[in-house]
Every structure is written in structure tokens, then in C-alpha cells.
């Protein structure tokens, strides 16, 4: 059974979500605030977290950061905040998707199924958790990159992009897939996001960012990692 943690302080919305999720055979835990959410996440190990940003005790962005410090669990943000800056902040903090209130239950459930699918489709095999190149190493479990003996600081978005590429070595990952997995379906046309973040990754990892050896662009199609 797929277990969902709902983090929301609106009792009516929580009730609606619990009813709909249980009707579809999901296991559900609910938390009215950030502190309870973090305790339940540690104790119950949910498969997906649905998170409101406007919590009574802490900002949802801080909950995302705390979760990302110890887990790769998919996080679906449910929020009335509609500005691009708010959405980017949540996604940069490590959210997997962003659903704006009010939303249709069908759309939310479709996003939930997609998040579960992505997790099931990309398990990390033990032998693939350490990636070594001639210039840097990546520890996927520890979420750590080392170059020339020093830790490389990556933003959550940079890490998410790098993780997708290095766990599919030699395979072309399309722009659409990267945008969908990192920023969510509504952003699939914003290829400028990819260009900016890939340039940042190359500056941090490549010896010659203008002539990359590891993070390769396939013009008009996507990117691939060559180890």
C-alpha cells in the first residue's frame, strides 16, 4: 500500500483528501503543522508527502528543506500561493511538484500517481550509488559531490538534475522529461530553466565548462551524462 502524508491545517480539506485517498486504497497520515509532519515522516516513512506551505508553526519551505536533509520522498506542494517566485522557491528547496489551490481532485490524484511512478521507475541500485569520474565523484546516498578533494555545494535543483542524469549514464534525457521531473508538468516549455541550471552545474563540475566532457548537450533534444 502506498502511504501518503498530508500536511495541511485546513480540517475540511484534510477530510476531503483523506476520504478520496482512502477510497483509492492509499494509506493516509495527516499532520496539522510542520513539527508534527516531520515527526510522522520519520516514524511512518511515507511514499509521498502532500504539503501546504502556509502552516501555523513554520513555513512549508522549511519543512521541504528538513525532509530533503534525510529523504528523497516525493513532495507535492498544495498552496494558494500563485506567484512564480513562490513556486520557484518551493521547487528549488526540493519539492517535486506544485499544485495551486483551488485544484480538482482528479488533477491532484494524477500528480500523485505520477510522483509514485517516478519513484518506482528509478530505484537506486546499491552498485550505482557511487559515481566516479576523472574529475569528480558523486555519492548518491549521501547526496555529496567532491571535486579536487573539496565538497561541491549544489542547490536542490542542481542536485536533482545531476541525479537524474548520472543514474542514466550515456542515455539521452529529453528536455521535457527533465523539466517535468524537476519543475513539474506546467513548466515543460521553459527550456531556459534547463540552460541556466546546466550552465551552473558545468561551472561547478567541468574543467572547461564551455567544452563539457561529462554533461553533454544534444541540441534541441536534451542532455546526457558521460562518465
Q: How far is Cα 48 from Cα 182, in angstroms, rounded to an integer?
A: 16
pLDDT band per the 50, 70, 90 thresholds, residue 120: low
What pLDDT, on a 0 to 100 scale, did the predictor assign at position 187? 65
Q: pLDDT for 50-78, tens place per residue? A: 999 999 999 999 999 899 878 888 899 99
For the residues 76-93, what does the mean pLDDT come to? 82
Q: pLDDT for 130-143, tens place per residue? A: 899 999 999 988 88
Q: How far is Cα 173 from Cα 176, in angstroms, rounded to an integer?
A: 8
pLDDT band per the 50, 70, 90 thresholds, residue 205: very high
* Cα angle, residue 159 at apex, residues 158 and 164 outer, rounded to 5°: 105
Q: 3-state SS of 37-60?
A: HHHHHHHHCCCEEEEECECCCCEH
3-state helix, strand, coil in the chain (%, to 5): 45, 20, 35
| All residues at 6 or more sequence positions from 18 whose CB lies less than 8 Å from its CB, including other chains | 6, 28, 30
Three-state DSSP at 171 gives: coil
Amino acid at each position: 500500500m502506498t502511504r501518503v502524508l498530508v500536511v495541511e491545517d485546513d480540517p475540511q480539506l484534510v477530510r476531503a483528501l483523506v476520504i478520496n485517498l482512502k477510497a483509492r486504497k492509499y494509506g493516509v497520515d495527516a499532520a496539522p503543522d510542520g513539527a508534527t509532519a516531520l515527526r510522522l515522516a520519520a516514524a511512518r516513512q511515507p511514499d509521498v508527502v502532500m504539503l501546504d506551505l502556509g502552516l501555523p508553526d513554520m513555513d512549508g519551505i522549511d519543512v521541504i528543506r528538513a525532509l530533503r536533509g534525510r529523504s528523497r520522498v516525493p513532495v507535492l506542494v498544495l498552496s494558494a500561493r500563485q506567484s512564480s517566485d513562490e513556486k520557484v522557491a518551493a521547487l528549488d528547496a526540493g519539492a517535486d511538484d506544485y499544485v495551486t489551490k483551488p485544484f480538482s481532485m482528479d488533477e491532484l490524484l494524477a500528480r500523485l500517481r505520477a510522483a509514485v511512478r517516478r519513484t518506482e521507475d528509478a530505484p537506486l541500485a546499491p552498485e550505482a550509488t557511487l559515481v566516479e569520474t576523472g574529475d569528480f565523484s558523486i555519492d548518491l546516498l549521501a547526496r555529496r559531490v567532491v571535486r579536487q578533494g573539496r565538497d561541491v555545494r549544489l542547490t536542490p535543483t542542481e542536485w536533482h538534475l545531476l541525479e537524474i542524469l548520472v543514474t542514466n549514464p550515456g542515455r539521452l534525457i529529453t528536455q521535457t522529461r527533465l523539466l517535468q521531473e524537476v519543475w513539474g508538468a506546467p513548466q515543460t516549455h521553459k527550456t531556459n530553466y534547463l540552460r541556466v541550471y546546466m550552465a551552473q552545474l558545468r561551472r561547478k563540475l567541468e574543467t572547461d565548462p564551455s567544452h563539457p566532457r561529462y554533461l553533454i548537450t544534444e541540441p534541441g533534444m536534451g542532455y546526457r551524462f558521460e562518465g
